[in-house]
Amino acid sequence: MDAQEFETKITALVSTALAAVNGAADLDSLENLRVQYLGREGELTVMLRGLATLDKAIRPKAGQLGNQAKGQIEQAHESKRSQLYDSGLNKRLAKEAIDVTVPGTRALNGHIHPLSQISSEIISIFYSMGFTVADGPEVETDYYNFDALNTPASHPARDEQDTFYTNIGPHSLLRSQTSTVQIRVMENTKPPLRIIAPGRVYRNEEVNARKYPLFHQVEGLLIDKDVNFGQLKGTLSAFIQALFKKPVKIRFRPDFFPFTEPSAELDSECPFCSGKGCKTCGGRGWLELLGCGMVDPNVLKGVGIDPEEYSGFAFGMGLERLAMLKYDINDIRNFYTNDMRFLEQF
Amino acid sequence: MKLSFDWLSEFVDLSGLTAQQVAEKLTMGAFEVEEITIIGPDLEGPIVVGEILEIHQHPNADKIRLTKTRIKAGEEPLDIVCGAGNIEVGQLIPVALPGAKVVNRHDGTALLIKASAIRGVKSNGMLCSPPELGITKNQQDPSQDEGIWILNKNGSSNGSNLELGSDVLPLLPTKADYILHVEPRSNRGDALSVMGLAREVAALFGRPLKKPDWSLDELKESLGEKKPTSKFNQAIVENTNDCPYITLRVIEGIKIAPSHPTIATRLEAIGVRTVNNVVDITKYVMHELGQPLHAYDAALLKSENLSVRRASDSETITTIDGKERKLNNEMLAIADHDVIVGVAGVMGGKDSEISDQSTSLVLEAACFAPAVVRRGSRLLGLSSDASLRFERGVDPASVRHAAERAAYLIAKYCSDGSNAVLGSLIEAGSNKIEPGLVTLRSSQIKRILGIDISSERIKDLLTPLGFTVSGSGETIEVKVPSFRKEDVKREIDLIEEVCRLNGYDAIVPSMPAATMAVARPDDSLDLAKNALTGMGLSEAWLSSLVPEDQAGIDKQLAVEVLNPLSKDHQMMRQSLIPGLINACGYNQDRGRKDVWLFEHGRVYFKEAAKDNKSTGVREDNHLAALISGQRFKAVNQAVPAVDYNLAKGMVENLLSALNIDERKLAWRPLSEGESAALPWLHPYRTAVLSLNRPAKPNANKEAPTSLFASNITLGYVGELHPRFADSKGLREKAFVFELDIDRLKKERKTKKFTGIATSPEIVRDITADFDATDKDVSYEQVSKLISKVAGSNLRNNELVSVYKASEESKKFSMTCRLTFQHPSETLTNEEIDKVLSTIRESLNRELAASFRL
């Protein structure tokens, strides 16, 4: 076989093969064609194997032609294969069409109670100012709830209509304020100390939109050398701005608590009327946010801290009150009814 | 208390101050004014004298005319529209200019004046009629009511000195009074009066107090030398601790009548009901000076003295409010020999009260001990304006002044002409007060307040309140006035006083210096809550006060409220579950099927007090949950069943979130005793979780049935008992768990990476057949046994299936998929076969398992 003859033969083979490959109807027949031409006993494979018998002079040229032919067929096969695969897949996908606007599989989402949320927020703000969380019992004694807090037996807060007493003993009561934790901490820890004590308190009051026989407070206490009223103002101002995440106009108004002196009420400008006076603030233009003051020397003495060496400030706030303000909740009973329609809004 | 601005102005110069300004100053001076109400017409300027220059017909309305009204000489007149028929050129009339507030004569509400167009014609104010200025028909010429108030009518005297543009408000016959609602302060009994608050206002504004313009001596002189005919002559005090000082005075020649208008108006303005001239004066003086007084009808007293003594248990009194009250030795009484005529400091008796027939009286002014009055008031369930003041402390040194003031007013206003006869003052006890002396160090002001306040400034601040300040520099000596003796005893009390008067705003905010390290807070609760919300549970907050008949309360250990608000708030809870069940029912009743709730909260058990700091109550923190209804909402798809296994899986996930090693834990069925103690649990579908170690001797021996009494119990998970669920009206099956989070916290291990083994795993299934006819076999027993004997290469033991031929069958098989892996070496099949045969032998020996080959 001379060169001319080989070339004619191989060209004819390529053109037949390409026509067949391009005309293949499906992946199976395409695979059969690949075996027919490129398989171990395929027509092209056999022809190329015959190159060895050719004259040495034409072998290089023939080899070149043979490789070209193989490449052409392989390329045609690959492009046909991917074309057939895509069109087959596309047909299948089209059959899988669904209404993609149908609702997804939904699950109940867990929600954290708003009082927990605001409590965590308050704790984390004070944590960043170096305060740690302290805890104390809810069933307390009158010593921790009153006497140690400079509240003598004749104070109206000790009246039976305000405080719940229990069967545990003549001095046992349900704490009416978280200030009890101040005393327990100071009894056990030497200053300097900075604590924040969130917890449940109880008062014997008729249930209405503003009152419930139990509610929650967060108490704070800082005792150190050279603590003054200016630092109380600075700390609580910083706290309020952080809690409401915007500048809030506040004022410190003189007030009286048995266990702090001087004492103050921290008011914020009423956010509902911008200080003009409305129903929420009772026309005052200001809302009470928390009570605070310098720890009374009698309280320090009572727990064995020398008031000439140490001073400190304390503050207490109602969680419900802050949450009602922050989330615009108008009835305190919502917090304890646990209606899912309420809980799922937080 | 309610404070009349008008009354206040009698004691302190308020010229140029509005009620609003005084209220603000008082509020920032520790006397919060909660509200200001107005008595009388609520008018605000500018309302000025104007002159009508021209009158024209309104182009679009018959009954309305246009005026040109001048309000300042030499200036352009204003166009003002007017509907009244009585106006004429040349009249002087009141003109309310834009911004003024007058009374809407149709409904009495406030009418704000602004420039506006009336039927297309601009009007720059309003010509006012008498009702629009708060003048009612009776007081003025009735003919003028319908028309504009003509100020120069018939050349009246008013008209002659009226200047254009001058303020009309001073010309009005009735003025408004402003009532300041002042929050009473429990430590400031001295400020519960007009006089007391006048002192504060004077100090806060730096204005002088006015001197009283009355004199009892002068009045006595004018009445002549008459002496009372009554022989009444003595006050007796049993114990001066109960009553340090008392004064009595006989007044004769009295005629009972309605009060003088000034007194009646002032009392009514602050909401005090008027009775008659004498009683009203006792009230008037109490509100004015803070000293409660009482008047007895002298003709109805039997003896010649009144004594102050403790009542005895058999005595009774009918108080002025008409109620008969039983007295006892804790109450202080005023006695007319053996007849009780008053509960001291609280209320007088009906039988000796002033009536229309009274012609003579005995006037009492005294100082009673706060604690005794308070006790009596509480025991009787009776409080009054008098007890409110005595409880907060009345100054003995001020009693006499008030007694004289009342005598003066009664003699002046409660008799015909000068018929009144004033007896002399009868006294008992002492009104002498040792002056309080307190030393104030300048350095302490700086230390507590953070600012320097000079001794001159301190003197300026304290002196107007009656303090006498001497010395300068570091040590300042302060003499405390008698009426402040109770609340100013220490240096800190003076620092507060200086701080308040100097203004809280003057304190410069700063931040405390950082002097201590911060302790890391425990994150267990946050992790647990994250895990639970991630599983679809929402957080509930439930009442810890529960009904008296709450299920599952162990009465022996119960903390009970002795003075509950109601039966629904009587016991301290011992479990969170009943509350969650109620919350679930509440939601289901409102059409909510899927209720997934959890709570973190306390439970309370009585325990023996260990020391004097202990409260006799153990308070544990529990974490509990209830699931009812589906979590998932899917279209055309099955969703996983909510069942016992799902609830138990939640607990297992929770344990994993807290990184608690499950090998330290054990599950077991509920015992009979526990089942009886926790009636909301399905007796055969509840598992108790406990620590896998023997319980320590029970610390709480009184609680054998309580599940959590054992110190290794961590909690339980189970299905709700159908009987309990039915009784609570639940509409869906519910599953609950409750865990002691305090105990769980202690079992948390720190996280540490142990590497990922690359050696091959060998997985083998092992199926064991059991026959529970004689003895129950649980997965817990099987898995614990496998773990014990399988050796250290057992990585995982997963229960694949439990097969029972039928519900009733006692025979069942259990298939466990065991994964073996050595940390570094490749295990051989021979090794594993050996382990498997050990497992089979043990299961056979200990749990009577058989194996099919």
Is-contact B552 B708, C-beta < 8 A?
Answer: no
With a pLDDT cut of 70, the percent of chain B lying above it is 96
Which tens digit of pLDDT belongs to each residue from A24-56? 999 999 999 999 999 999 998 988 888 888 888
Q: How far is A141 from chain B (nearest CA, A)?
A: 6
CA angle B44, B45, B48 (to 5 degrees): 140
Residue of B nearest to A172 (CA): B615
Q: Is the pLDDT of residue B219 over 60?
A: yes
Taking all residues of chain B, what is their mean pLDDT, rounded to a whole number?
Answer: 90
Q: Which of chain B's residues have a Cβ under 8 Å away from the Cβ of A310? A: none
Inform me whether the C-beta atom of residue A273 falls under 8 Å from chain B C-beta atoms: no
pLDDT at A164: 93
pLDDT at A275: 85
Is-contact A250 A237, C-beta < 8 A?
Answer: yes
Residue of A nearest to B517 (CA): A130
Strands annotated E in B288-415: 293-297, 305-310, 316-318, 324-326, 332-336, 339-343, 347-348, 360-367
pLDDT at B92: 87
Stretch B86-114: mean pLDDT, rounded? 86
Q: Which of chain A's residues have a Cβ under 8 Å away from the Cβ of B553? A: none
CB contact under 8 A, B507 and A233: yes
Nearest beta carbon to residue A228 from set B448, B564, B606: B448
* Structure tokens that stand for B658 in this block: 């807290």
| Residue type present at position B197 | L
Of the candidates B542, B575, B544, B576, which has an alpha carbon nearest to the alpha carbon of residue B560?
B544
Beta bridge partners of A112: none
Handedness of CA A19, A20, A22, A23 (dihedral sign): positive
For residues B771-796, b (16+ Cβ closer than 10 Å) or e, as one string?
Answer: eeeeeebeeebbbebbeeebeebbbe
Is-contact B52 B87, C-beta < 8 A?
Answer: yes
> Which residues 75-94 of A have a C-beta within 8 angstroms of B?
none
CB contact under 8 A, A335 and B391: no
Of the candidates A138, A147, A222, which has an alpha carbon nearest to the alpha carbon of residue A177?
A138
Greater model confidence, B201 or B418: B201
Beta bridge partners of B572: B545
pLDDT at A160: 56
Q: Which of chain A's residues have a Cβ under 8 Å away from the Cβ of B572? A: 139, 166, 174
Which tens digit of pLDDT belongs to each residue from B782-793? 999 999 999 999
Total CB pairs under 8 A between chain A and B: 259
Greater model confidence, B721 or B694: B721
> Which residues 294-313 of A have a C-beta within 8 angstroms of B?
294, 296-297, 311
> Which residues 191-220 of A have a C-beta within 8 angstroms of B?
192-194, 200, 202, 204-207, 213-214
Of the candidates B721, B736, B708, which has an alpha carbon nearest to the alpha carbon of residue B680?
B721
Is-contact B128 B151, C-beta < 8 A?
Answer: no
| Residue type present at position B54 | E
Nearest beta carbon to residue B492 from set A108, A165, A296: A296
Which tens digit of pLDDT belongs to each residue from B777-835? 899 999 999 999 999 999 999 999 999 888 888 889 999 999 999 988 999 999 999 99
Which tens digit of pLDDT belongs to each residue from B105-149? 777 788 889 888 887 788 889 998 888 887 765 444 555 557 888
Strands annotated E in chain A: 106-107, 132-133, 139-141, 172-174, 193-202, 214-224, 250-257, 260-269, 286-295, 311-318
The residues, ordered by sequence, that sit 6+ positions from B342 with a Cβ below 8 Å of its Cβ are: B294, B296, B317, B333, B334, B348, B349, B352, B364
Greater model confidence, A11 or B521: A11
Greater model confidence, B416 or B528: B528
The gap between the terminal CA atoms of chain B, to the nearest Å, is 94
Inform me whether the C-beta atom of residue A130 falls under 8 Å from chain B C-beta atoms: yes
Handedness of CA B142, B147, B153, B159 (dihedral sign): positive
Handedness of CA B268, B273, B277, B282 (dihedral sign): negative
Q: Which of chain A's residues have a Cβ under 8 Å away from the Cβ of B495? A: 261-262
Instruction: Indicate the helix (H) or strand (E) that contains B785.
Output: helix B779-789
Of the candidates B117, B147, B123, B122, which has an alpha carbon nearest to the alpha carbon of residue B133?
B147
Q: Which of chain B's residues have a Cβ under 8 Å away from the Cβ of A225? A: 515
pLDDT at A244: 86
pLDDT at B673: 86
- Categorize the per-residue pLDDT at B609 as very low, low, confident or very high, splitting at 50, 70 and 90: confident
pLDDT at B702: 47
Q: How far is B514 from chain A (nearest CA, A)?
A: 8
CB contact under 8 A, B564 and A193: no
Is-contact B600 A199, C-beta < 8 A?
Answer: no
Instruction: Indicate the helix (H) or strand (E) that contains B661.
Output: none
- Categorize the per-residue pLDDT at A110 as very low, low, confident or very high, splitting at 50, 70 and 90: very high
Nearest beta carbon to residue A339 from set B510, B529, B587: B587
Q: Which of chain A's residues have a Cβ under 8 Å away from the Cβ of B509? A: 230-231, 233-234, 237
Q: Where are the alpha helices (DSSP H) in A173-329?
A: 180-188, 229-244, 297-302, 319-327
CB contact under 8 A, B597 and A251: no
Q: Is the pLDDT of residue B698 over 70?
A: no
Give B816's Cβ-side CA count (13 Å radius).
26
pLDDT at B752: 86
Stretch B754-763: mean pLDDT, rounded? 88
Q: Which of chain B's residues have a Cβ under 8 Å away from the Cβ of A108? A: 536-538, 594, 596, 631-632
Q: Is the pLDDT of residue B452 over 50?
A: yes
The residues, ordered by sequence, that sit 6+ positions from B524 with a Cβ below 8 Å of its Cβ are: B658, B741, B744, B745, B748
Is-contact B420 B414, C-beta < 8 A?
Answer: yes
pLDDT at B159: 45
| Residue type present at position B633 | K
Q: How far is A270 from chain B (nearest CA, A)?
A: 14
Q: Which of chain B's residues have a Cβ under 8 Å away from the Cβ of A102? A: 635
Greater model confidence, B617 or A284: B617
Q: Is the pLDDT of residue A198 over 90?
A: yes
Q: Which of chain B's residues have a Cβ under 8 Å away from the Cβ of A238? A: 511
Nearest beta carbon to residue B500 from set A105, A172, A254: A254
Which tens digit of pLDDT belongs to each residue from B524-572? 999 999 999 999 999 999 999 999 998 888 888 899 999 998 999 999 9
* Structure tokens that stand for B817 in this block: 């998929």
Is-contact B11 B209, C-beta < 8 A?
Answer: yes
Stretch B272-277: mean pLDDT, rounded? 93
Residue of B nearest to A337 (CA): B583
Residue of B nearest to A281 (CA): B34
pLDDT at A280: 78
Q: Which residue has the tokens 């033969």?
A: A9
Q: Which of chain B's residues have a Cβ under 8 Å away from the Cβ of A167? A: 558-562
DSSP summary character for residue B721:
P
pLDDT at B149: 86
CB contact under 8 A, B602 and A156: no
- Categorize the per-residue pLDDT at B104 as very low, low, confident or very high, splitting at 50, 70 and 90: confident
- Is B55 strand, coil or helix? strand
Q: Is the pLDDT of residue B274 over 50?
A: yes
Say which range, B212-226, B266-280, B307-321, has the weakest mean pLDDT: B212-226
- Categorize the per-residue pLDDT at B705 as very low, low, confident or very high, splitting at 50, 70 and 90: low
Stretch B280-297: mean pLDDT, rounded? 97
Q: Which of chain A's residues have a Cβ under 8 Å away from the Cβ of B535? A: 110
Which tens digit of pLDDT belongs to each residue from A307-323? 999 999 999 999 999 99
Which tens digit of pLDDT belongs to each residue from B561-604? 999 989 999 999 999 999 999 999 999 999 998 999 999 999 99
Inform me whether the C-beta atom of residue A152 falls under 8 Å from chain B C-beta atoms: no
Stretch B703-717: mean pLDDT, rounded? 79
* Structure tokens that stand for B99 in this block: 């911004």
Instruction: Indicate the helix (H) or strand (E) that contains B811.
Output: strand B811-820
Is-contact B157 B131, C-beta < 8 A?
Answer: no
CA angle A118, A119, A123 (to 5 degrees): 115
pLDDT at B140: 47
pLDDT at B138: 46
Inform me whether the C-beta atom of residue A261 falls under 8 Å from chain B C-beta atoms: yes
Residues A67, A89: Cα–Cα separation, whole Å: 33
Q: Which residue has the tokens 């309610």?
A: B2
Nearest beta carbon to residue A105 from set B499, B587, B637: B637
What predicted TM-score, i.e. pTM, was given to this entire model?
0.82
Q: Is the pLDDT of residue A72 over 60?
A: yes
